Structure 1
């Protein structure tokens, strides 16, 4: 499959489905048909509308849509999204709330590079903005990066995180969501060894595969069921003629999306079927729950082949992070070097991507960290997305994370929470 025509064929299939949806919608809404109302025509128009929107969203990067927020002064303040660091494969951006005093908390959100854009964490950013200066890693779509920019694998990803963390200076906190959790842990250990003055105060790891072998899932089982040669042959394609990255070997976002959907095919099928009937009954809107969720969920990006393959081989198959054997640019990363960065893990009880046990394994690796600077939280009933978005995050996890950040402002010296009983959900390890 590693040829230009296969990538273009996949794009042609997507484009054809979008065209079929648009055509069905237009034909069913032909004015003359309104003279003879027909339920089949109504269904056809609704199917076309939902289909066109779904396939159109697959190639468009969503907008952040964060334009203003209400601060403690009761006024609405504009939010300026600034690029602090610009790099070929990703930027560090800052959500600058204009006219507001700089917040004491400074948080770097490390977004996953797993097929979706960083905008997947939009609700996470919105929930943190009132209480912190928020920065996030904004990864670029590999199909838009010329081959001349070179490779990008998990070592490069880790070094990007190191550079971004150095840019924030001192007195900041890192929250890594899902896929980048092991690499954020490695970047923190790297800094603790070579540039301790740039290390964060706290590191919060949310639903990440620190030790994928601790609790097997469909994701980990797939990683062990194929050889690297088979994986490269089945999953890797070269960007076609339409994009700037022509010829770059990538793991296409459309393939990743098909994998996501296949894991819960019945649920997604029912969601789209229900949406078609809502459109027929004129109960749907441009910003209803279905459209808001799937506009983000269906917007996918390509990953560089070397990043995808090295992630599978080194994180899921060889368990280099779990065994504390990870090497970055020839430098052996020793997670035991983390001695003055408080570490907290968050897991979801019903997480079927990074099952409970995979993330909390990070605490055992931090052998140089005192127990009072370690914490873990298992969110009852929460799935993978629920631990960084939705009510579980807003009502339960977010307050605990902010409390953890405030309790460890000094890094090496752990402060006690202010006159507030420790939540039973937050346990020291």
Structure 2
């Protein structure tokens, strides 16, 4: 069977490295070595702890870890994650703040399906919770989904978004981050044609590839260099026997992680080298900056083969979104039909994943939308991660997004009263 042996080989390599780390940690931690106070043992123990932790994280879904927030009354309120809609490939979840009245701002965060779990947006969720009712698309790991559940490609993803938006109702503000930006725009356009009353109030698109050719990056260059046949041969594998989705064709998360790391190999090598030295000196801690970042970064999930391949072919190679030639379930999606949804574009000046210009191309597609309902922001010196989860998001972008939501909510209410 295609790729099943190589999938299990990758898992075996990961498991072996985790075991080597655990063995080194245990070996170097024997009390008897206290009689030989050589720094080699401390370095060996530190290397083992960090190696074991790093390779163990790769198969564990992180917890949201949002326990409480401070409410308008100044008290801590418990946060409960509740599932509103359960589907085979992803759920719609709500962060319910106990003891707090529902907030006027209702925000749906559309999380990426690009190799990491939705918890990648943890800090984004946490920053919005004090001021908003927050809902998130919680995508599932394809390796755990039985083959009997069928396929899941970008059209299915778009229809999932359409269903989630309908469930939440039109009094909704959507924030899409990275990969789902073009499909979120497509879902909105689909509703504009099929069910206009269900459209959200505002749409904030952050660092996504609406038109990959608008500003080429290493990611887009790779997509152009390889054919679809080569790509399928190189990266698509079948889930091995260990998981519930055994036999499903996927783009493995471990392979995606290798790609992520190779793009910034020097930076990651330096980060791990420095962490080993800190741990050897006793200066590292369980939740220090290194562990907080890499516990999330190293936790990866598989994508279905059809989702990954259709994304590359239709969004990057054929540029169906950029050319306004995208179809969903046999129906052409026309972005020009979006006339009453305010749209804001956010990009990072130093984004090396979705460079400035790729997301901004969305505004040119919205030919039916008035200029006063279009907005854009380019964050200086911000990279890809910073525009939705870093200091740039907290200090600059988040206030702008909330102001954008409030301004356009007021505008829509005024127009309704005028009618």
TM-score range relative to shorter protein:
over 0.9
Distance 2:376 2:194 in 1: 27
Partner of 2:49: 49
Partner of 1:254: 254
Q: Secondary structure at the match of 1:130?
A: coil
Distance 1:382 1:225 in 2: 28
**Structure 1: which 5+ residue stretches go unaligned?**
416-429
Partner of 2:120: 120
Partner of 1:203: 203
Distance 2:107 2:281 in 1: 44
Partner of 2:191: 191
Partner of 1:356: 356
Shift of residue 2, structure 1, vs aligned partner: 2.8
- Tell me, yes or no, if the aligned pair for 1:340 and 1:411 is still in contact at 8 Å: no
Distance 1:315 1:250 in 2: 18
Partner of 2:30: 30
- Tell me, yes or no, if the aligned pair for 1:95 and 1:135 is still in contact at 8 Å: yes
The answer on 1:140 being equivalent to 2:140 is: yes
**Structure 2: which 5+ residue stretches go unaligned?**
none
Partner of 2:336: 336
- Tell me, yes or no, if the aligned pair for 1:324 and 1:334 is still in contact at 8 Å: yes
Using the size of structure 2 for normalisation, the TM-score is 0.98
Distance 1:339 1:68 in 2: 39
In 2 relative to 1, CA 276–284 (structure 1 residues): closer, same or farther, beyond 3 Å?
same
Partner of 1:423: none
Distance 1:118 1:187 in 2: 19
In 2 relative to 1, CA 414–350 (structure 1 residues): closer, same or farther, beyond 3 Å?
farther
Q: Secondary structure at the match of 1:85?
A: strand
- Tell me, yes or no, if the aligned pair for 1:110 and 1:177 is still in contact at 8 Å: yes
Distance 1:85 1:268 in 2: 37
- In the TM superposition, what whole-angstrom CA distance separates every residue of 1:88-122 from its partner, at most 9, and x where no partner exists? 00000000001101100000000000000000000
Q: Secondary structure at the match of 2:354?
A: coil
Q: Secondary structure at the match of 2:14?
A: helix
Shift of residue 3, structure 1, vs aligned partner: 2.4
Partner of 1:21: 21
- In the TM superposition, what whole-angstrom CA distance separates every residue of 1:247-275 from its partner, at most 9, and x where no partner exists? 00000000000000000000000000000
Shift of residue 67, structure 1, vs aligned partner: 1.1
Q: Secondary structure at the match of 1:293?
A: helix
Partner of 2:295: 295
Moved over 2 A (4+): 410-415
Distance 2:43 2:60 in 1: 26
Shift of residue 411, structure 1, vs aligned partner: 6.4
Distance 2:179 2:2 in 1: 25
The answer on 1:215 being equivalent to 2:234 is: no
Distance 1:410 1:114 in 2: 35
Distance 2:412 2:182 in 1: 22
- Tell me, yes or no, if the aligned pair for 1:373 and 1:414 is still in contact at 8 Å: no
Shift of residue 390, structure 1, vs aligned partner: 1.3
Partner of 1:315: 315
The answer on 1:70 being equivalent to 2:83 is: no
Q: Secondary structure at the match of 2:189?
A: helix
For residues 390-401 of structure 1, what are the structure 2 equivalents within 5 Å?
390-401=390-401
- In the TM superposition, what whole-angstrom CA distance separates every residue of 1:264-300 from its partner, at most 9, and x where no partner exists? 0000000000000000111100000000000000000
Partner of 1:425: none
Distance 1:366 1:44 in 2: 58
Partner of 1:226: 226
Partner of 2:269: 269
In 2 relative to 1, CA 412–192 (structure 1 residues): closer, same or farther, beyond 3 Å?
farther
- In the TM superposition, what whole-angstrom CA distance separates every residue of 1:122-145 from its partner, at most 9, and x where no partner exists? 000000000000000000000000
In 2 relative to 1, CA 333–410 (structure 1 residues): closer, same or farther, beyond 3 Å?
farther
CA-atom RMSD, angstroms? Answer: 1.0
- In the TM superposition, what whole-angstrom CA distance separates every residue of 1:365-404 from its partner, at most 9, and x where no partner exists? 0000000000000000000000001110000000000000
- Tell me, yes or no, if the aligned pair for 1:339 and 1:412 is still in contact at 8 Å: no
